[in-house]
Amino acid sequence: MPTPQQLIQWKQQGRAIAVLTAWDYAIAQILDHAGVDVILVGDSLAMVALGHDTTLPLTLDEMLHHAKAVCRGVKQALVIVDLPFMSYQESPQQAIHSAGRVLKETGAGGVKLEGGHAAMAETVSKLVHIGIPVMGHVGLTPQSVRQTGFRQQGTSPEDKERILSEAIALEQAGAFSIVLEHIPADLAQTISEKLTIPTIGIGAGHHCDGQVLVTSDVLGLGTWKPKFAKSYLNLYELITQAAQDYCSEVRQNAAIQEPRQFLEP
């Protein structure tokens, strides 16, 4: 199982880091067997698995429920769990309590939180100080969607400087890696070159030290995905067809099977 320190070593060695999200035992098992380096229990599960329009309604208890299932299915990958909206922003003490529950109750290897302003860097520092590995997240931060929308961040000189400063502050606070979401590729490259910890891009170009996508987008499970997300197959159509075929056979009595005969033990 990779450790946070090993991810940093991989950056130094030029070894790219593959990250995907998971929200249940079955998906986690498949991704782990496929050789994914890091499995992120992202708060995107609020939209993917629970049907919300944003990540904001997700609670810490809901995140813990899903993270436990994911960790049961993982033997090799490093599992990182998102801290959901308003489970860490009130104070460092709240963040310590929430992150502590994640590590104690799920067996995950660390947590991820959004933002890199001074108060958040202080929170990261306190978490790291007591032994909780932290992955940062700057650029488009979905928990701030009411303020920023889902549009690309870092397009103005001022925003580029702010995001770069936030990334540096998170590294100095002790974060072991940082997600760069939906920012210009040149900004992602600058950040990746300045930091000694790995950057994980999503919609941030190919100059990052690793990449992450939401697995439902990769599998084509939904009817919509971000423009920067790539689908490797269309499970939505395949599952729909399979379900339609099943319904057709049942209605024609073709799917009715005789009860199986089980041998006595």
Q: What is the pLDDT of residues 221-237, one digit of tens each?
A: 988 888 889 999 999 99
Question: What band does 63 get if pLDDT is binned at 50, 70 and 90?
Answer: very high
32 belongs to an annotated ligand binding site: no
> For position 163, what pLDDT does the model report?
98
Q: Is 159 annotated as a binding residue?
A: no
Q: Can you give the C-alpha Rg of the chain in angstroms?
A: 20
The string of pLDDT tens digits covering residues 162-218 is: 999 999 999 999 999 999 999 999 999 999 999 999 999 999 999 999 999 999 999
**Is 181 a residue of the active site?**
yes
pLDDT for the residue 223:
82
At the fourth CATH level, the homologous superfamily of domain 4-218 is: Phosphoenolpyruvate-binding domains (3.20.20.60)
Please report which confidence band the pLDDT of residue 85 belongs to, taking 50, 70 and 90 as the band edges. very high
Both tokens of 222, joined, read: 């939904």
Indicate whether 11 pLDDT > 80.
yes
User: Is residue 112 a known part of a binding site?
Assistant: yes
Does pLDDT of 260 surpass 60?
no
122 is in an annotated binding site: no
The model's pLDDT over 13-29, given as tens digits with 9 standing for 90+, comes to 999 999 999 999 999 99
- Of 122, 158, 161, 181, the active-site residue reads 181
Q: Which residue has the higher pLDDT, 257 or 137?
A: 137
Count CB neighbours of 63 within 10 A. Answer: 26
Given a cut of 90, whether residue 4 has pLDDT beyond it is yes
Q: In terms of C-beta distances under 8 Å and separation of at least 24 residues, what long-range contacts does 88-94 make, across chains too?
A: 88/113, 88/123, 92/122, 92/123, 92/126, 92/127
